[in-house]
Structure 1
Amino acid sequence: MAAPTKLLNHHEETTALSMDRSEQTQTSSPYAGIENSSGFPVTRREPISLLQLPSEIRNMIYVYALTADGTLMCCVPPTAYPKKEPKFIRTGCLTIERKKVAACPSFNQLQFANRQLRHETEGLELTFNTIFLPAAMFRYKMRTGLFPVADLLTAFRKVCSPIRFSWLSKIRLQSDNSDEWAVPFGYSEKPFPAIADFCKANHHIEVQYVLQDFYITYVSMDRFFIIGVALTLALRNDNSAQHESLPHVAGDHQALSATWADQFVNSFMVQPGWHETSPSHVPLDHLFSGIDNLTIFPRMEVIDEATFATCHYGFPSQAVSLFPKEQQENWLKWAKIWVKDGIKPCL
């Protein structure tokens, strides 16, 4: 029983000490005489709660508290009876969890404090953050095979209620189907028309599409640059000012777009009579014309310069470090641009 008595005495001493300091402060303050001479009693101000703050200050706090460091992941609750119930139990059951966390509580904990905070903060995490829609997660929940982007968008609309869908400001799509881009045979028409239709129908949502095959491997970076150059030329309508600065083969100044990426650019760009010869195949620059809420990203989040220098490039394949320094810097510059800023359509 000695410990509690000691703590109590310590508390009393601390309280007395703080009171003494308070009295010293009041008597030594130059404003003490003025305050006491007014005749009004000096009362201690009670702490102000969050909901007592002005709405402008509360809004600033909400932005700070509900903005995540990175993307948030859309998590679909599993069905209790997969054989008897529909694919999703009910429309509108959408929970947001931190990316790459298997099981954790909802990111917005303020909404569970009381009714007013729920009214003020519900859905703000959808507005302040990028919501990641991983196809692998939807595929697991729906117990299906490959999950292309068109089906991913359809499934997401089923589990996201209209009101919560209206709160979204930015989503990030990633398919787990590498057949959407079959190098060197061009691309599959499935994902891009679905994405274009989604962007046109939902101008309030900024769409980030992560292209599955758009990444750097140690064995070869050819695919990465072929796709990057082809998309840059196609989505930006072959800007001649950028043409020469794009990555190219060393030595003969042949632009990559004029050699390896010919077939991609030709299939992406609008050709005379394209609607007559292949009405189902719409070139990308025509498909995404006027769309300003789409950005296509590689399946990479960072570019490590040391690893980049050890990768292989070209035919015959050789290490990047063996190419001229100026060429290495140009390749690295464009790789960083694509990873950081993505590729947007030309308006």
Structure 2
Amino acid sequence: MASTSPLLRLPAELRNTIYELTLTASRSLHHHKPDAAGKKPYFYLRDDKSPVDYNQLKYANKQLYAETAGLELKFNDITFSEGSKDALPSDALIDWVSSVSITKRSWIKTISIRPDSVDDLNLIGESPDAVARLTQLCNGIPNVKVKYYKPSWVYQSDFGIGFFFTLAQCFSYAFRGKIFKYLFNVAVDQDMAIIYATRWRKGHHYKSPKVELVRLQAENLKYFPIMPTDTPVPVIKADYTIARDDEVIPEAEQWIGNKYLREWMEHGI
């Protein structure tokens, strides 16, 4: 496209409308980390093809680059998934944000961290210090909603809903200092959540110092299970038995965990 193209002759207001329509994706854009050749990071739509920078407008000419570089951040949610043994997606997010101007940071609405894989060092994942760094970042960009999908937090009907809630309690107590005693019918599950989360904050799983709870607090950072929000889950009765497929259970006779399961799936911890 030449600098004299019809697009660049349009009024700025109309160009901005075209940019928004062109750069609004149908789903979240994924971060592509810098490669060995030094190519800058970019955002792309995940599919079966090779990753391609979603914002192709900026490559047309210098003026379009000046007007549209980074503009995709204003119109899309973005996801960080790529990680490795030595660098988790949260690290990539921290590095990337440090390279983005304050103006462009203000464009971002929602960032998701959804690791493709994670070392199974422990149930919670990263070291307390790594989570504290992420929390510090989130407090520095309060306008951005950050959703962290924990790889180990998955509901599987054949594995049992009890473990799902025990693990959720580990997260809740580790990151928020909260415990929901009434969700357990076995006291040892509650104790496990408290003990495990406390040991994690003290750095027992890592060669790292204790991290105080206050360093793990950020209003705009929530932790989610990796499961679709429309996942069918059984209704558990107040006596912890599972309702039959055709059985209608009044809310008052349901286990309180049914409510929290849906709430954590949609809104996180």
Shorter-chain TM-score above 0.5:
yes
Does 2:140 match 1:213? Answer: no
The CA distance in 1 between the partners of 2:209 and 2:51, in whole Å, is: 44
Is contact 1:180–1:188 with CA below 8 Å preserved after alignment? no
Is contact 1:321–1:328 with CA below 8 Å preserved after alignment? no
Q: Where in structure 2 are the equivalents of 1:131-280 lying within 5 Å?
A: 131-135=78-82, 138-139=83-84, 146-147=85-86, 149=88, 152-155=89-92, 162-163=99-100, 167-168=104-105, 169=108, 170-175=110-115, 176-179=117-120, 181-182=122-123, 188-189=127-128, 191-203=130-142, 205-219=144-158, 220-232=160-172, 235-236=175-176, 238=178, 248-249=183-184, 260-265=189-194, 268=197, 280=209
Number of matched pairs: 250
Q: Where in structure 2 are the equivalents of 1:298-337 lying within 5 Å?
A: 298-305=225-232, 308-309=233-234, 319=242, 321=244, 325=249, 326=251, 328=254, 330-337=256-263
The CA distance in 2 between the partners of 1:148 and 1:221, in whole Å, is: 31
The CA distance in 2 between the partners of 1:259 and 1:201, in whole Å, is: 38
2:211 is aligned, of 262, 269, 282, to: 282
Seen in structure 2, the aligned counterparts of structure 1 residues 231 and 67 have a Cα distance that, compared at 3 Å, is same
1:334 offset after TM fit, Å?
Answer: 2.1
Is contact 2:94–2:137 with CA below 8 Å preserved after alignment? no
Identity %: 23
Question: Cα deviation per residue 1:33-88 (whole Å; 9 max; x = unaligned)?
Answer: xxxxxxxxxxxxxxx9544444344334433332222211112364xxxxxxxxx3
The CA distance in 1 between the partners of 2:98 and 2:168, in whole Å, is: 36
The CA distance in 1 between the partners of 2:8 and 2:156, in whole Å, is: 52
Is contact 2:176–2:216 with CA below 8 Å preserved after alignment? no
Q: Which residue of 2 aligns with 1:118?
A: 65
Matching residue's letter, 1:287? R
Give unpaired runs (5+ residues) of structure 1: 1-47, 79-87, 140-145
Question: Cα deviation per residue 1:215-246 (whole Å; 9 max; x = unaligned)?
Answer: 1012212222123344446655549xxx58x6
Is contact 1:110–1:117 with CA below 8 Å preserved after alignment? yes
State the superposition RMSD in angstroms.
Answer: 4.3
The CA distance in 1 between the partners of 2:47 and 2:97, in whole Å, is: 20
After TM superposition, the score normalised by the length of structure 2 is 0.69
Seen in structure 2, the aligned counterparts of structure 1 residues 171 and 335 have a Cα distance that, compared at 3 Å, is same
Give unpaired runs (5+ residues) of structure 2: 203-207
Seen in structure 2, the aligned counterparts of structure 1 residues 156 and 187 have a Cα distance that, compared at 3 Å, is closer
1:98 offset after TM fit, Å?
Answer: 0.5
Does 2:27 match 1:62? Answer: no
Matching residue's letter, 2:221? L
The CA distance in 2 between the partners of 1:238 and 1:156, in whole Å, is: 27
Q: Secondary structure at the match of 1:193?
A: helix
Question: Cα deviation per residue 1:157-192 (whole Å; 9 max; x = unaligned)?
Answer: 667882479735243223422535438xx9853542
After TM superposition, the score normalised by the length of structure 1 is 0.56
Which has the higher Rg, Structure 1 or Structure 2? 1
From the two aligned structures, give the one with the greater helix fraction: 1
Seen in structure 2, the aligned counterparts of structure 1 residues 268 and 133 have a Cα distance that, compared at 3 Å, is same
